[in-house]
Amino acid sequence: MTQILMQINGSCWIQATILKLESLTKLSFKIRLFRDFENSFSQTDLSKLTNQAMEVSINPAILTVMLCALLSQSAPEVRDDSHVQESSSKAFPKLDVDLAERAALEARVNALLRDKLQIFGCVMRTSDLENDIPVLDPLRVKPKNITPAFGLDVFDVRFTNMKFEGLSDFMLNQVSSDFRDFRVKISILAPRVATTLNYNVTGSLYDLFRVYGEGEARIEYTDVFMRTVLYLDIVDNKLQLAFADQPYVDFSSAQVKVNGREGPSSNRRFNELSHQVAPIVFWVFAEEVASALEPHLQFYLNGQLARVPLPGLAYVLRDQVQLPKVRVPKPVPYNYMSSMYFYPLRLY
């Protein structure tokens, strides 16, 4: 009986006990007795309760039966729900910890990429022979043939000795990693990119006039914009660049200068055609530059990403991500505008 009574705890059960006793007897003792029981039951034993009951002519046996009945009706069920309380109390803190850990990892990667990409701009101008990175600014590309159409007129154009300058002077516009998808969004802006080349053009106008020309040309593009997505992976416990999504590229304006065999061209029709060639040359330039820079940039970034310490959460997040299986490496226009309405272009 003493062991059962010692399990009683909580004022709610005590108040219920008082109400049940009041319904059984009108003796004032029961109120005082159970209120004392509420305040100091841990210091009161069964013999004391029995003696006090005898003083007011309550049979101890009846008191015992009455208490047992109350215990069986009102005693709270003992449940082992400590694991439930523990899990519920730790659920939100665990989410907070994961969120903070992921945010810290993303901040480290963002800072590292910003710093190392700026350094890569210097490497493009000076080379890094130890890592097999040649000079990439100015960048030379292979000869290219294109067949642009201007209205109903189709021309064959061959570009040789193509050289691009200003690629290393880019400014980082966005570096934003998200390890929920294991990818990094990057966008850059190059204030000025110039290309010098030799051209050879053959074609006809309205199927009547034969057009032929060759010489040197220089095209300057301003505000060259590029954005892409880098997909990351974990290889041999190291963070690595799996591949990059197709870059979206565009520019705001261009300046064209054409020198023929007899000096600067004064043919108005030829100058108009050269204006329309500028966007076409840009897409040729974008594809060639992307193909030339990609292997060197990937090798360089993998060497830097491998130094990032990976928490256990990184492996959990990686297992939840399925990298895309389809890749389109060829650059596509970010905001393409038809060459027929290209504006502004200035010939000088």
- The whole-angstrom separation of Cα 190 and Cα 163 is 16
Sign of torsion over alpha carbons 299, 303, 306, 309: negative
Q: Which domains does the chain have, with CATH numbers?
A: 2-74 (no CATH), 103-347 (3.15.10.30)
Q: In Å, what is the CA distance from 327 to each residue of 51, 165, 240, 242, 249?
A: 90, 28, 17, 11, 17
Cis amide bond preceding 138, omega within 30: yes
Among 91-95, 262-266, 311-315, the minimum mean pLDDT is found in 262-266
Backbone phi, then psi, for 43, in 5-degree steps?
Answer: -105, 5
Give the residues across from 205 on adjacent strands: 209
pLDDT at 6: 45
DSSP E strands in 147-208: the ranges are 149-150, 153-165, 171-178, 183-205
Residue 125: pLDDT over 90: yes
pLDDT at 286: 85
pLDDT band at 43 (very low <50, low <70, confident <90, very high): very low
Convert the pLDDT of each residue in 199-239 to its tens digit. Answer: 888 887 777 777 788 889 899 999 999 999 999 999 999 99
- The whole-angstrom separation of Cα 109 and Cα 114 is 8
pLDDT at 12: 45
Convert the pLDDT of each residue in 171-210 to its tens digit. Answer: 999 999 999 999 999 999 999 999 999 988 888 777 777 7
pLDDT band at 47 (very low <50, low <70, confident <90, very high): low
